[in-house]
Structures are given as structure tokens and as C-alpha cells.
Amino acid sequence: EAVIHSDPGFSRENQYFQSQNERYEAAVRKSVHLKEKMHQMGWTENRPEIKYCYRALGGDLAFNIHRVFKNSILALGTDEQIAKWIPLADKYHIIGTYAQTELGHGTFLRGLETTAVFDISTQEFTLNTPKISAMKWWPGDLGRSATHAVVFAQLYIKGKCYGLHAFILQIRSLCDHSPAPGVIVGDIGPKMNFEHIDNGYLMLQNINIPRENMLSRFSQVLPDGTYVKQGSDKINYLTMIVTRVQMLWTEVIPMLLRACTIAIRYSVVRRQSKLNPSDPEAKILDYQTQQQKLLPLLATAYAFHFMNAFVNEFYNKGYTEIKQGNFESLPELHALTSGLKAIITDFCTAGAEVCLRACGGHGYSALSGLPFLYTKLVASCIYEGENTVLFLQTARFLVKCLAAAHSDQSIPASAAYLSSVGSGKCKAWTKTDFLKPDVYAEAYRHRATRLLGNAATKLQALVQSGAEQYEAWNKCTIQLVQAAKAHCHYIVVKNFIDTVEKLKNEAEIQKIVKHLCDLFALHGIFSNTGDFLHAGYISGDQMDMVTASYLDLLAVIRSDAVPLVDAFDFTDESLNSALGCYDGHIYQRLYEWAQKSPTNQQVSRAYASYLKPLFQSAPSKL
Amino acid sequence: EAVIHSDPGFSRENQYFQSQNERYEAAVRKSVHLKEKMHQMGWTENRPEIKYCYRALGGDLAFNIHRVFKNSILALGTDEQIAKWIPLADKYHIIGTYAQTELGHGTFLRGLETTAVFDISTQEFTLNTPKISAMKWWPGDLGRSATHAVVFAQLYIKGKCYGLHAFILQIRSLCDHSPAPGVIVGDIGPKMNFEHIDNGYLMLQNINIPRENMLSRFSQVLPDGTYVKQGSDKINYLTMIVTRVQMLWTEVIPMLLRACTIAIRYSVVRRQSKLNPSDPEAKILDYQTQQQKLLPLLATAYAFHFMNAFVNEFYNKGYTEIKQGNFESLPELHALTSGLKAIITDFCTAGAEVCLRACGGHGYSALSGLPFLYTKLVASCIYEGENTVLFLQTARFLVKCLAAAHSDQSIPASAAYLSSVGSGKCKAWTKTDFLKPDVYAEAYRHRATRLLGNAATKLQALVQSGAEQYEAWNKCTIQLVQAAKAHCHYIVVKNFIDTVEKLKNEAEIQKIVKHLCDLFALHGIFSNTGDFLHAGYISGDQMDMVTASYLDLLAVIRSDAVPLVDAFDFTDESLNSALGCYDGHIYQRLYEWAQKSPTNQQVSRAYASYLKPLFQSAPSKL
């Protein structure tokens, strides 16, 4: 990271003062500069240095969707297509975008309206945007940069629709960057964040592309118009799975780690009010309410960090199988990554808001870096699948698993617990019993099984009483989402427990990580008491023990909180926060940074034009 | 509002495209223009037209803290001081700010470090900022506009500190706007929102002001240095109470109404996926999960709208008494406004995020207006008292009330229920029983009483086992916050029930409002099941009835959702949202507005400087 920070071309000093135009320009400049730097240093895309570069730069780079463009070609393209396009994209000889979402259509892929009609006589596809709601809308790198696009469109051959397929087309000239004939393209304007990304719109009017430009690893159109398909219907989801897995470790989980680092460091410097009337003002992290806000988030950050390692491993295995034509793991991979994407982005977003608010007014200053983290994270709850929709995908998978369990069929590993019959009552007798992973894991398992069982029973009852399947499903969705959340929550707790076990040869570290695991698990029970009390699995008295253990843990983690965020090892430059620096000089830095703001560098016309005439009417002596 | 909208001087067309400087300038221009307009139209500050002006302008005006400056003089100043300063401020001959918060000090007023030392020989106070953490930080209108300030400082007479007092001083010249000698003043830079407000910093170096400039209604310094005090120690809180009450109806509750209007209108135009496979794509508001997101918020908007009427009445009565020297109602007024400020800002902020996310990607576009509402609301959780601190103020009051109840003393009306002994079990037998206001009111009462009782018992036990009072208090704060929230939640439910009863002569309206009241109450139980299940007040079976009744209500309110937001009666100009317009033309408007974005008006240098050289190295034939 030192290489990056020592290079003035990567400075983030003015980031919080820039306009949308300036941020876009800086992001393009840095991305091109990074490519040169990589070449100089001999780094390649797959070396770990790159991960550190992204980390050091805080994600403020262009061409993220260019990567998705490449991923989609790698996932859906033939070997020839990969050989043709990937080298061009790797060298930035072309910039690509991934044009899926439309103005009127998001998550429901079958609803997309863009068309691609195959003409046997010319051996070309003709792409069209039939109406305004079919305009491609949101793709990053599209608004001002991209020369090419992978466009998803409904494939028509001889009047018959074969569903959604991906096509590569050129949208801007490589000579002068003007839009290709028949292409209307632009930027969708300001957003809550991502000013550095040129999210764009794209309308296509009779654009012809050769037959070779349909991505054809899993389905192709032969010269005579014959349609050949191989593999699952769900294969279009593959790019989304890849993207979801990547976004978690590049754009989501690290943001929570950053927010925790900033808020916890601030909370041991900031003093407010008195705990003991005879002492000076207390550090705010010594207040129980501040610990309640930040320390469970710290545990969550570790939980997701470990979860991410698991997901990557699981995904790599599945991806390899699928590329080899074995689609068996696709449903579980899709369900698991959908649900985890949803719960992780939900928790990280809520966590960033908590961190911001826990720093009071200074958290609300852009200079804290926290507004930036929040506004970036909230987008992750929406993009790459809206979270409610994703939870329902997971729920649909779980309902199938439950049915399989009831008929003694085998169930994928992540849902295997659904077939085991647990006890109806929690066996804890004292508050320390709740520090046993078996005890809380069983509680989470019971909750997930119960919520899913209830939702499935209701669904079945509705259908049996004559409701249509779709209508019954809709009437159960609130409860199905709850069940999917409980399942994902359990998966995260379970993985945390497994991680602690694996540390058995490092007793000191294991001890601290075990505290974090306990805190994560008990905070989850403490924050969702009703789910555990409802059927009496945990009694009111036992819940009081959970509360007591949970509050004890806050005090335990308090003493390690600073080293635990220091271990995330963010440089000051990478955090880019006036509150979060390692040296703790928050007030000096806020004052210095504020003085650099353009609001202090220029005299506003407001005074001369509007205020001066008023003030000059005031009586001369006040 | 038509007068405002027809005046191009008030246009908000470019709001989402403006820089911090531009937004500040526009806000000043509009505020001065509004003052002229008011003069032309013969409107005065207290006429209802003004309320509509603010509404029409969506709050994008300068000089909000100038109003707090005036309020503080009206609340804390003598009649002479009011007569001298208020006319100047009313005419904008001076612009004032309210300088309380310091860089190192927020909610804990006693910790403020600015000093005001009285010198008998000169009859002047000398104000100083003794160190960097004492710099005034955050006051609005300070950074670039204000000529005067009400500054809070520790008063010293003959070396003795008399605590915090308010002083009026001039900080900039009325001739050329340059900072007064010894004054260092500037803007604190970018924030998450409020770009139109020039929040500022202020350092004072030996500023002398005459004795008459201390606001002296409740305490004064005589020429010989004698300090005379009248009234409560808490009188400095009065300005904050005034400000909290005003902010709820100007800056907070209307923002939730706006967010609901935008999200619900969008949700009946936007279609996604299919409910019935043979139908076209369904309106997203017909999905149960979307109803779950938005309809309880609609009920919350109505709940707070009605709550606001109650608070205003309660406050007007108390304020009049206090100004007449009767401080009896101050503790209750302070506790009630603190807790309600906290719960209302918490709910509204969370609600705005839900609305934003419920509109998917388009909600995340600045053009939806929703990011603006969220980023504005989240500040309201922090300013005028951070919410956790405020809930603890309410909790402290409630603990005193509970002690009074146990010793048969009288309790203020809002907490009187603490002395009544309720039943230990909910008496509902069917799901329709949960539509009886008595049933759910009693459940909320039980929850609030139980949580407060538990926290108070724990507090007492800790003290009896030898803990210091402050240490015991800190160990109970998480639970005390829960108790205060439950109390405030009950107050809002109770007031909603009372409002429904008052509508008995308007059966049609009463029926709809009763549905909203039921939904608000049952959603609160459904979202906090543990609080009601814990001690067995509501059983698991009864909770299933709550769920069933709650889900039924969603379908009922769905059919009235659009007229219920139309009734808020926001003009399209005032909403300023591409998604929320009355005509429902969301896609056309998004496209039209996006085209006006500066990102489409200027060619970025990024292409010529960084991209062109790369593209030109591409092979000429792709």
C-alpha cells in the first residue's frame, strides 16, 4: 500500500470537496494510472497486490462494471469469444459495460423488453429498445466511458422468443468516442453516492451485430436459425453469482470494517459527560450504550470476514464444476449467495448508520468518511438483486429442502440441519451456559427451523383450502423472508463457531475470537428475543440470562476493542477520515481539513448580491 | 403555495445538480426573496401562509438558525433585550446564529469550555476560546452569513464560575462583512446534507461586550458583580425545548410524509414480476412484502401528524406558564419533548430509508428526492440532542415517576399509568380482539411498565449491593433506553386512539383512521414481539393472532393507500421527485431530468486526457 500512498497520482485529499464531474474524472485518471503502475511493477490482475491497491484506494476507481463485462464474457462466452474480447478489455483498448437492468425492469429478468431478432439472410441480430421502459438504465461505466456493452435482450428467431441472451455490441466510436449510429447514450445524473461512476442509459435503434456476438457457451444460434441449448435455465444467473461473491469482499464487508475502525477510534478519544462526578469527562466508549452500538458491530465485522472466506471456497468449487458442465451445485450456490448477499449488505448498511450516529455531529460531517460509507453500502442492498427478492429466492430453496427432508430425500449441506429433529427447550441453566457454542447454535437452528416450518405450513394450508399457488406464496412472503433471514443468520453463527474451533492451536487468539463469536451470537438473540421466546424454546428467565451474559461480554470486548480494529490494518490514507486516524488527533484534523473546503476558499456572491443591501440598512450604532 | 410555485425566484429545478456553494447561494437568495414576498403580500411570521411557504419550498432556505437565535432571545432575554434585537433580526438587518456546541463538546452542556469573564472596572464581559476543543463548531448560518451570535459560555465573576450563560456578540462587520477583531470564523465544510446551510466554526480571542449583552431574563450580573438568579437551573434547556418542538413539524414529520407519498405513488406505477402467471406484471404495492415496508410507515406518518398536534398544545401551555415564572411543568415538558423527539426522528429516519430502498435503484437516484430526505432526517437524530442521550433523559424522569408512584405521590399526567396495576395476561381470544384499542393500549402499557420496572429494580439492586449510583446507572442504560422507547411508543399509540375517538361525528373518516391506528399499533407489536412475549403477557398463540390481524390490515389499507398519501396534499414542485408526481409518469420524468444533468451538458476531460490514447491503440478492425 505504501507504493500507492507515496504516489501523488492516487491522492484522495480532495475527495470530499469534488463535484460529480471531478470525481468521475479523478476515478478514470486513477484507474488508467493504476493500470500503468501495475505494468511498471509487474503486477497482474490475479496477484494479491491488486487487492491491496483497491484497499488503499478505498474503492474510488472507475471501470468496476468493465470487470463485470469481462466476467460475463468469461462465464457465458465460448473459448473463441474469450480469446477475442478479454485481451482487448484487459488492456483497456475497449471499455465495456454490463447492460442488463432497464428503466422499467430490474430483478425480474424475464420482464426485460430489449429485443434481439435473428435474420438468417444477413446472419445478424438486430437489437432494439421498443419503448421507453426498455431503455437500459443504471449500468456503470456506460454514461460517459464505455465503448462496448454486453446487452441482455430477448432472443427472437423466426418470430419465436427464446428468452434472455447476452450480446456484445459496440456503442461508441474508438476514434472519436461519438455514439454509434442508432445508439442514444448518456449519464443518468446524480445519485446518493457513486459520483465517480458514470451510470448510464442506452437506447438501441436497429443495431445490427454479427451472429458471433451472441455469448454462446451455453446456448447458440446456428447459421440456419436452429437454437441449441446446453445446461441449466439459470445459467444467466452465473454472472450475478460471481458479481455477488466479489462485491462482498471488495465493496461491502471492508466498508463495515472501515466504519468500525473510525467509530471505535473516535470513541476512545472523544469524551463526554461524566461517569464518576469526581473524574474528568469519560471516554464515550466507556458508556454502556456506546458499547451496545459499536461492539456487536465489531463482532459482526469479524463474523462476515470469516464468512467471506467460506463463501469464496464454496463458490470456487461450484464455479469450477459448472464451467465443466456439472450444474448440480447451482441451486445451492445461488440460494446461499443470494441470502448471504442480502443479510450481509443489510447488516453492514445498518452498521454504517450506527457508526455514523455513534460519532454524533462529527460523524455526519463528510470529513469523517462515514456518510460516504453509508451511502455506498445502502446501494449494495439494492444492486445485484434487491434484498427482499434475494431472501425470497433463498426461501424458495429452503421450502424445497424442507419438502425433501419430509420425504427423506437428501438435502444440500447448508440446509441439512432442517432434517434433524432438535429438542423443544433450550437446556441452559445459568448465564454462562449461554457462552457454550452448542447452546446458542442450537437456539439459532431451532429458530430457523421453526420459522421455516410455520411459513411452509401456512403455505400448504392456503393451497389446500383452494388458493392458487402464486396467491398463497404472496400471502406468506413476509414470514418466508423472516425464515430466510433466520437461516442465513444461523449460517453465519455456525461458520463463526467453526472458525473458532479451527484456531485451537493458537490459544490466545482463539480466546479473543471466541468472545467475538459469543457476542455476535448473543447480540443476535438479544435483538430478536421474540423469535426465540415465541414457542417457548427460550423462557423469559433464560432470556434474562442471555441479557446478563451479553452485557458482561460488552465489558470484556471493550478492553480489546482498539487492538481489534487496529488489526484490520487500514492506513490513514485509505480510511481518509478526520476522525479515524491512528494518532487520534481528531479535533486538529477536523479543523485543518475544514479550512481546505472550497466554502472557505471562495467568497460567495450571496453576500454582495443579497445580504449587503440588508445589512447596510441597519442602524449604524447597535 | 401557488404564489410560491409561480415565482421563478423559488424554482427548485436544479437543486439536485448544485454544488455546496451553489446551494448556499440559492438558499440565501430564496430566503431574502421570501422576506420581500411576505412584505409584498402582507404576510407576517405568525400567519399560516408562512407554513405553506416553507412546505412549498421543501425547507431549502437559509437562516434556520437565525430563527433559533431569535427564539433564544425571546426565551432568555429581558423585555429590553427583546425590544432591541428582535426588530433588527426580523428585518434581516442582522443575521444571528446560536453558538452552543463546541468542537469537543455536544450534549453535555456543563462541559462547554468557552469563557465569559466579567470585569467590574469596565462593566464588560471578555469572551475567550481557551483551546481548540472549545471552538464553536456546527452552528448554522455561522460559516458565511451571520453578523451576530448568541454564544453560550461559562460565566466567571471575581474568579468564581457561575455556569453556562448566553451572550450576544457581533462577529462580522455590517459594513464589509469582515470578521470582527479577535474573531476567527469559517465554514466546517461538506456534510451528508444541509449543503445549503453554512454550518460554521468560531474562535474568540478577548472579545469584549457590554454588560447588557448577557441574556438576563432568568439570571443577571449587577454592576457591582453581584449574581442574581431566578428560576430553574434547567432554564437553559428552554430554547432547546422550543427548537425540538418546532423541528418536529418543520423538518422531521413532513419529511416522512413526503417519503411515503413518493414511495407509495411509485409502487402503484412500477410493475415487477408476476403474481398470477397469466396476468401482466403486477404493481409492486400488491406484493405483501412491499405492503409490509410502506403501509405501516403510512400509519406512522399519520400517528406522528396527530402526535404533533398534541405536543404543540401541551408545549404552548407549558411555555406560557414558564414565561410567567411557574416552572412546575418544566420537567415533564422536557422529558416528553426529549423522548418524542428521539422516537419520532428515529422512526422517520428509518422510514425514509425503507422508502428509498422500496423504490429500488430509482429510489437511490438523487432525482427521486429520497436520498435527500434520508440524509436530512438522519441529522435530526443527532442535532438538538442525540437520541440515546434524550431517551436517557426521559428514562431518568420515568424512574423518578415510578418512585413517586410507589410512595403514593402524584405523578405527571403522561406517566400516570405507571401507578395503575394492570392484569398480567392479555385478554384477547381471537384475532379480531386485537383490533380493540383497549386491548392493544393495555399491551403497550404493560410492556412500558414492565421494562421500566425491570430496569429500576436492577438499578436498585446494584446500588444496594454497594455500587455507586453513577456506576449502577451506566450498567442499566441499555435497559433504561428500552424502557423510555416503550414509554414513548405507548404515548404515540394512546394519542392515536384518542384522536380516533374524537372523530366520532365523522364516521367515514373515523373508520379509515381507525384502520391506520390499528395498523400502527399491531405493527409495533409484530416488530417487537419479544417485549410482549417475555413475561407471558401475550402468549405465542395470541402473537399468531396479532400476526394474522396485522397481515389482514395490510390488505385493507392497500386499497386506500393512494388517497391517504394524496391527502397530504404536496404539490409536485414541493415534492421535487421524479418518482412521486401526481400523474405517475415516472419513466419519462426520470429520462427528462437525467438529460438536464451537468454530466450530460459537458464533455469530461477524462476522455481526451486518459481514454483516447488507450482506445487509439486498439486494432482498427474488431
pLDDT in tens, B295-324: 999 999 999 999 999 999 999 999 888 878
Q: Check whether A577 has a pLDDT greater than 80.
A: yes
Nearest-angstrom CA–CA distance, B545 and B559:
22
User: Least CA distance to B387: which residue of chain A?
Assistant: A357
The alpha carbon torsion through A284, A286, A290, A292 (nearest 10 deg) reads 170
At residue A233, the pLDDT reads: 64
Q: Tell whether the torsion through CA atoms of A431, A437, A438 and A439 is positive or negative.
A: positive
First to last CA, chain B: 58
Q: Is B360 on the interface with A (CB under 8 A)?
A: yes
Q: Give residues 164 to 183 of B whose Cβ lies within 8 Å of A.
A: 170, 174-175, 177
Residues 6 or more apart in contact with residue B178 via CB below 8 angstroms: B172
**How buried is residue B277: exposed, middle or buried, by Cβ count under 10 Å (0-12/13-18/19+)?**
exposed
Q: Check whether B234 has a pLDDT greater than 70.
A: no
Chain A residues in contact with B375 by the CB 8 A cut-off are 192, 371, 375
Judge whether B275 and A471 are in contact, CB under 8 Å.
Answer: yes
Evaluate whether the domain defined by A94-225 bears CATH number 2.40.110.10.
Answer: yes
At residue A236, the pLDDT reads: 66
Angstrom CA distances, A234 to A359, B175, B296, B309, stand at: 45, 72, 35, 54
Nearest-angstrom CA–CA distance, A13 and A22:
13
| Pick from B389, B139, B372, B91: nearest CA to B251 | B372
pLDDT in tens, B510-524: 999 999 999 999 999
Is A597 in Cβ contact with B189 (below 8 Å)? yes
Lowest mean pLDDT among A14-23, B215-224, B396-405: A14-23
Q: In the structure, what pLDDT confidence band is assigned to residue B233 with cuts at 50, 70 and 90?
A: low
Longest dimension (CA), chain A: 93
Nearest-angstrom CA–CA distance, B524 and B532:
10
Nearest-angstrom CA–CA distance, A309 and A302:
11
Residue B352, CB half-sphere, CA atoms under 13 Å: how many?
26
* Residue A172 DSSP one-character state: B
Judge whether A106 and A115 are in contact, CB under 8 Å.
Answer: no
Nearest-angstrom CA–CA distance, B381 and B378:
5
Chain B residues in contact with A203 by the CB 8 A cut-off are none
Q: Give residues 60 to 79 of B whose Cβ lies within 8 Å of A.
A: none
Bridge-based pairing of strands A96-99 and B160-170 is: unpaired
Judge whether A279 and B468 are in contact, CB under 8 Å.
Answer: no
pLDDT in tens, A314-334: 999 998 888 788 888 889 999
Q: Is B396 on the interface with A (CB under 8 A)?
A: no
What is the distance in angstroms between the Cα of B560 and the nearest Cα belonging to chain A? Answer: 19
Q: Which of A24, A288, A543 sits opposite B478 (nearest CB)?
A: A288
Q: Check whether A486 has a pLDDT greater than 90.
A: yes
Which residue in the block uniquely carries the three cell numbers 421543501?
B58
Does B140 show up as a binding residue in the annotation? yes
Does A239 show up as a binding residue in the annotation? no
What is the distance in angstroms between the Cα of B52 and the nearest Cα belonging to chain A? Answer: 23
Lowest mean pLDDT among A456-465, B411-420, B487-496: B411-420
Interface test with B, best of A90, A136, A174 (most B CBs within 10 A): A174
| Pick from A265, A263, A418: nearest CA to A335 | A418
pLDDT in tens, B447-473: 999 999 999 999 999 999 999 999 999
| Pick from B476, B177, B510: nearest CA to A288 | B476
What pTM value is reported for the model?
Answer: 0.96
At residue A234, the pLDDT reads: 66
At residue B379, the pLDDT reads: 98
For residues B568-579, give the mean pLDDT: 95
What is the distance in angstroms between the Cα of B504 and the nearest Cα belonging to chain A? Answer: 33
Nearest-angstrom CA–CA distance, B485 and B345:
12
Is A475 in Cβ contact with B288 (below 8 Å)? yes
> Angle at CA A79, nearest 5°, toward A76 and A82?
70
Residue B367, CB half-sphere, CA atoms under 13 Å: how many?
22
In three-state secondary structure terms, B184 is strand
At residue B9, the pLDDT reads: 84
pLDDT in tens, A508-557: 999 999 999 999 999 999 999 999 999 999 999 999 999 999 999 999 99
- Counted across chains A and B, CB pairs separated by less than 8 A come out at 389
**How buried is residue A274: exposed, middle or buried, by Cβ count under 10 Å (0-12/13-18/19+)?**
middle
Task: Tell me how crowded residue A422 is: count the other CB atoms within 10 A of its CB.
Answer: 14
pLDDT in tens, B379-410: 999 999 999 999 999 999 999 999 999 998 99
Q: Which of A95, A386, A599 sits opposite B21 (nearest CB)?
A: A599
- The ranges of chain B annotated as CATH 2.40.110.10 are 94-225
Chain A residues in contact with B191 by the CB 8 A cut-off are 364-366, 371
Nearest-angstrom CA–CA distance, A450 and A444:
10
Is B365 in Cβ contact with A190 (below 8 Å)? yes
Angstrom CA distances, A166 to A132, A213, A227, B121, stand at: 20, 9, 14, 86
Longest dimension (CA), chain B: 93
Residues 6 or more apart in contact with residue B495 via CB below 8 angstroms: B303, B306, B307, B310
Nearest-angstrom CA–CA distance, B253 and B246:
11
Nearest-angstrom CA–CA distance, A266 and A580:
6
Q: Is A138 on the interface with B (CB under 8 A)?
A: yes
At residue A341, the pLDDT reads: 98
Percent of chain B with pLDDT over 70: 99
Chain A residues in contact with B32 by the CB 8 A cut-off are 610-611, 614
> What is the DSSP code string of B211-264?
GGGB--SSEEE-TTS-EEE-S-GGGGHHHHHHHHHHHIIIIIHHHHHHHHHHHH
Mean pLDDT of the residues in chain B:
94
For residues B199-221, give the mean pLDDT: 96
Q: In the structure, what pLDDT confidence band is assigned to residue B48 with cuts at 50, 70 and 90?
A: confident
pLDDT in tens, B255-287: 999 999 999 999 999 999 888 888 999 999 999
Q: Check whether B502 has a pLDDT greater than 90.
A: yes
- The ranges of chain A annotated as CATH 1.20.140.10 are 243-271+283-412+432-568
Nearest-angstrom CA–CA distance, A339 and A167:
29
Residue A278 is placed in which grid cell?
469526581
Percent of chain B with pLDDT over 90: 82
What is the distance in angstroms between the Cα of A494 and the nearest Cα belonging to chain B? Answer: 23
Residues 6 or more apart in contact with residue B583 via CB below 8 angstroms: none
Percent of chain A with pLDDT over 70: 99
Bridge-based pairing of strands B124-128 and B115-119 is: antiparallel
Interface test with A, best of B30, B471, B611 (most A CBs within 10 A): B611
Bridge-based pairing of strands A96-99 and A148-157 is: parallel
Q: Which residues pair with B125 in a beta bridge?
A: B118, B209
Is A595 in Cβ contact with B186 (below 8 Å)? yes
Is B392 in Cβ contact with A591 (below 8 Å)? no
Task: Tell me how crowded residue B461 is: count the other CB atoms within 10 A of its CB.
Answer: 12
Which residue in the block uniquely carries the three cell numbers 443518468?
A188
Nearest-angstrom CA–CA distance, B459 and B251:
37
* Residue A608 DSSP one-character state: I
At residue A187, the pLDDT reads: 97
At residue A49, the pLDDT reads: 77
Q: Is B39 on the interface with A (CB under 8 A)?
A: no
Nearest-angstrom CA–CA distance, B509 and B560:
12
Per the CATH hierarchy, to which homologous superfamily does domain B243-271+283-412+432-568 belong? Answer: Butyryl-CoA Dehydrogenase, subunit A, domain 3 (1.20.140.10)
Is B599 in Cβ contact with A189 (below 8 Å)? yes
At residue B242, the pLDDT reads: 85
**DSSP H helices in B324-421:** 330-358, 360-364, 370-380, 387-406
Q: Check whether A98 has a pLDDT greater than 90.
A: yes
> What is the DSSP code string of A213-256?
GB--SSEEE-TTS-EEE-S-GGGGHHHHHHHHHHHIIIIIHHHH
- φ, ψ dihedrals at B105, nearest 5°: -145, 130
Q: Which of B360, B364, B474 sits opposite A275 (nearest CB)?
A: B474
Q: In the structure, what pLDDT confidence band is assigned to residue B327 with cuts at 50, 70 and 90?
A: confident
In three-state secondary structure terms, B156 is strand
Nearest-angstrom CA–CA distance, A522 and A185:
51
At residue B500, the pLDDT reads: 98
Chain A residues in contact with B147 by the CB 8 A cut-off are 615
Q: Is A201 on the interface with B (CB under 8 A)?
A: yes
pLDDT in tens, A433-449: 999 999 999 999 999 99
Q: Is B368 on the interface with A (CB under 8 A)?
A: no
Is B144 in Cβ contact with A32 (below 8 Å)? no
Q: Which residues pair with B160 in a beta bridge?
A: B157
Q: Tell whether the torsion through CA atoms of B98, B99, B102 and B107 is positive or negative.
A: negative
- φ, ψ dihedrals at A555, nearest 5°: -65, -35
Chain B residues in contact with A92 by the CB 8 A cut-off are 611, 614
Q: Tell whether the torsion through CA atoms of A372, A374, A377 and A382 is positive or negative.
A: negative
Lowest mean pLDDT among A293-297, A565-569, B234-238: B234-238
Nearest-angstrom CA–CA distance, A415 and A360:
42
Mean pLDDT of the residues in chain A:
94
At residue A232, the pLDDT reads: 66
Judge whether A257 and A566 are in contact, CB under 8 Å.
Answer: no
Q: Is A144 on the interface with B (CB under 8 A)?
A: yes
In three-state secondary structure terms, A414 is helix
Which helix (H) or strand (E) covers residue A166, if one does? strand A160-170
Lowest mean pLDDT among A38-47, A394-403, B445-454: A38-47
Judge whether B418 and B401 are in contact, CB under 8 Å.
Answer: yes
At residue A322, the pLDDT reads: 84
Q: Is B530 on the interface with A (CB under 8 A)?
A: yes
Nearest-angstrom CA–CA distance, A95 and A147:
5
In three-state secondary structure terms, B341 is helix
